[in-house]
Chains A and B, each alone.
Chain A
Amino acid sequence: MVDAPTAGSEENAADAFLQGGPSLRNASGPYFGSYGGRWMPESLIAALDEVQDTFEKAKADPDFIAQLKDLNKNYSGRPSLLTEAKRFSEHAGGARIFLKREDLNHTGSHKINNVLGQALLAKRMGKTRVIAETGAGQHGVASATAAALLGLECVVYMGAEDCRRQALNVARMQLLGATVVPVTNGSQTLKDAINDALRDWVSNVEHTHYLLGTAAGAHPFPAMVRYFHEVIGAEARSQILEQTGKLPDAIAACIGGGSNAIGLFHAFLDDASVKIYGFEAGGEGVETGRHAAAISLGRPGVLHGARSYLMQDEDGQTIESHSISAGLDYPSVGPEHSYLADIGRVTYEAVTDTEAMDAFSLLCRTEGIIPAIESSHALAGAIKIGKRLTEGKENPSDVTVIVNLSGRGDKDVETAAAWFNMLDEEGHVKGTTLSTRKPKGPTERTSEAAVDVNEDQN
């Protein structure tokens, strides 16, 4: 790893990199420059050591690698496609935009890559129970899926506000046999779900693995979660070379905790010609204070086990983040991103709710793909950089950009319908409530789970 504990030497690291210096692809933690580490209760250190040790051994074990490859191929459906978005590209200055289709993975997002890896590790450690936090519900669904597949008990902590926003995913998790615990502390979103998951873990660590869903938290999570997602960038790099014969000019991803982004970025970190962009949630606009742009506007602090950029007040209290996207509604970010931001290798910018929803709509209508609202932040960012990079270019189509389409938008249909004013006062999709016939079929047999979900929506 590139060791750069002070601001001064971080600049040197960037210079060294640009002059063909040491690779940025070997950062194994616990520190990324001055970020990362283990700011954790002593009670959990032994468990973190066990995860780290199991992970290191698994990485070196051909059986484990084969098992993971097999699941990625025959269960998730990897490799995911790299799709050129031709009509969408016209709105991005004519740059050729390619979508890395993580939305096509089983369960509908990149989250499955990490979950399968960690669930296999949980089995190796002899754990019988996994717990997870979830924001958008995608990581919860992926965890519930892997738990069902491997015969593990699964409990998912989810902010009550997110349960409401992503009710469909709550039902999916329940159908998959997981228990969903709505978290009513604090902002009732992702950070509070992580707090409760950590409290559960410290109490049940003997038989429970905490299946953290993003490249954040205490060592070894940032490095380990990245490892399981590196397949995204590895595939994308060879696919773009095959389809265009050259490396892309830029790559882009949305940043919640940073897992889909670091998964894509990793393969390109040493390709100095490739510009790398991370798009944070700008919420209602960074000037309003209602956003989740930790790198753009935060300052370093510790939360959930790692030192990283953090939205905090003058007292070091965490500031609640805001975003239309549950999966990006997190006030910190994985530590490797903080490091990559400081050394200037990756550029992080904020995208507002409105910009993201415009891009969401555009992709639906130009490509026939409904993206996750999280991923729509990357799409909005790609429009901006496409325009920037093609400016004054004779042949804008020489410019190529890869966007990580981290997930599909089915879970977001309700949020989108409300945003685009498609609902009547009752909350029904306009034009769908004209029938006067009584609904037929076994309505009495509606399961309790489904009833709960309906109540949540009200």
Chain B
Amino acid sequence: MTEEFASKSAAAIDRAKAEGRAALVGYLPAGYPTVQESIEAGIALARNGADLIEIGIPYSDPVMDGPVIQAATTEAISNGFRVANVFDVVAGITAATDAAVLVMTYWNPVMRMGVDEFARRLAEAGGAGLITPDLVPDEAHEWFEASDRYGLDRVFLVAPSSTPERLDMTVKASRGFVYAVSIMGVTGTRTSVSSSAEDVVARAHAAGAERVCVGLGVSNPDHVREIAAYADGVIVGTALVAALRDGGVDAVGQLTKNLSAGLGRAAAEA
């Protein structure tokens, strides 16, 4: 990983590490159900134990998302969400908390705004960087330049299907952390964590990744506990979106609190 400057995501993960635990990463879509409420929900995430926050940009064709996130982002768009609102959400959360705030986005909205312009505005809003589910390093020349220019993290994904060569290449291309997809599939809650997750994390660590976070299907404190035993961070998405859908901002805070109880390594070994 390249770290010519202080990575906000790396710093947040390292703070958790210093406390002897894995970091909790919480995902919520920008503009769901409204821009203001998504800011409040993001703040609730941070106040109740999330170390990093991943704000998703609602997009018309979210091929890596399951039904819950699809429904939320579709609603956000029909409620009038505009891509530039994501900077308001990031600024709103970073102003109120010290969590690292990343944006998760499919690539076309970034291309449409202009990669440099997007990066500049994200940095201005206090964002930590981007998680890019449909951008692999092979196509990311423009993003390499822009992320270096504005000091942003580049979080690429690795998967159980990634070959050793690709894993190596992706780890080198990433900054902040590497996102290990736990399972071959799309976002959504699952009853158990796939056994392939531990293997992907081990392979990413072996390839030189200092920080590897695991996402997809993580939905309860048991899952968090299991993953926290071997990964540097645990990413929860669908379960939080469902909580926001069913119980509003308070439910997000409550679930985050429950999830963060699973973070301690000591607890995992007990």
B-contacting residues of A (Cβ < 8 Å)? 37-47, 49, 185-186, 191-192, 195, 198-199, 202-206, 301-304, 310, 312, 314-318
Contact = CB atoms under 8 A, between A and B. Distances in A.
Contacts of B161: 42-47, 205
Contact of A40 (B110, B136, B163): B136
Contacts of B184: 43, 202-206
A195 B135 CA distance: 16
A312 B74 CA distance: 16
28 contacts: A38-B138, A39-B135, A39-B136, A41-B64, A41-B133, A42-B156, A42-B166, A42-B170, A42-B181, A43-B181, A45-B136, A46-B159, A186-B60, A195-B61, A199-B63, A202-B63, A202-B64, A202-B184, A202-B186, A203-B185, A204-B184, A205-B161, A302-B108, A303-B61, A303-B108, A304-B63, A316-B59, A317-B59
Interface residues of B, number: 39
B64 A42 contact: no
Interface string B103-139: 0000111111100000000000000000001111011
A312 B184 CA distance: 29
A316 B63 contact: no
A43 B157 contact: yes
Contacts of A301: 108, 111-112
A318 B112 CA distance: 11
B77 interface: yes
Nearest to B65: A199
Contacts of B157: 41-43
Contacts of A205: 161, 184
Contacts of B186: 199, 202-203
B83 A315 contact: yes
Nearest to B59: A317
Determine the main DSSP class of B at the interface with A: loop
Contacts of B139: 37-39
Contacts of B156: 42
A312 B61 contact: no
A304 B64 CA distance: 11
Interface of B: 59-64, 66, 70, 74, 77, 82-83, 107-113, 133-136, 138-139, 156-163, 166, 170, 181, 184-186
Contacts of B62: 195
Contacts of A47: 161
B16 to A, nearest CB: 25
B40 to A, nearest CB: 23
Nearest to B135: A39
Determine the main DSSP class of A at the interface with B: mixed
Contacts of A312: 108, 112
Given A39-B134, A315-B82, A316-B108, A195 B63 contact: yes
A173 to B, nearest CB: 23
A185 B73 CA distance: 12
Nearest to A299: B112
Given A185-B70, A191-B61, A39 B107 contact: yes
A136 to B, nearest CB: 20
Counting chain B CB atoms within 10 Å of each CB, the highest count among A41, A46, A192, A205 belongs to A41
A129 to B, nearest CB: 14
B153 to A, nearest CB: 17
B163 A46 contact: yes
B158 A315 contact: no
A110 B64 CA distance: 31
Contacts of B170: 42
A441 B156 CA distance: 62
A315 B109 contact: yes
Nearest to B112: A316
B190 to A, nearest CB: 11
A42 B64 CA distance: 11
A453 to B, nearest CB: 26
B113 A42 contact: no
Contacts of B108: 301-303, 310, 312, 316, 318
Closest 4 CB pairs of A and B: A316-B112, A316-B109, A43-B159, A46-B161
Given A316-B83, A316-B112, A316-B113, A42 B136 contact: yes
Contacts of B185: 202-203
Given A203-B184, A301-B108, A42 B159 contact: yes
A50 to B, nearest CB: 10
A41 B110 contact: no
Contacts of B70: 185
B107 A302 contact: yes
A303 B166 CA distance: 23
A45 B162 CA distance: 8
Contacts of A314: 112
A310 B158 CA distance: 28
Contacts of A186: 60-61, 74
Contacts of A303: 61, 108
A202 to B, nearest CB: 6
A302 B111 contact: yes
Nearest to A199: B186
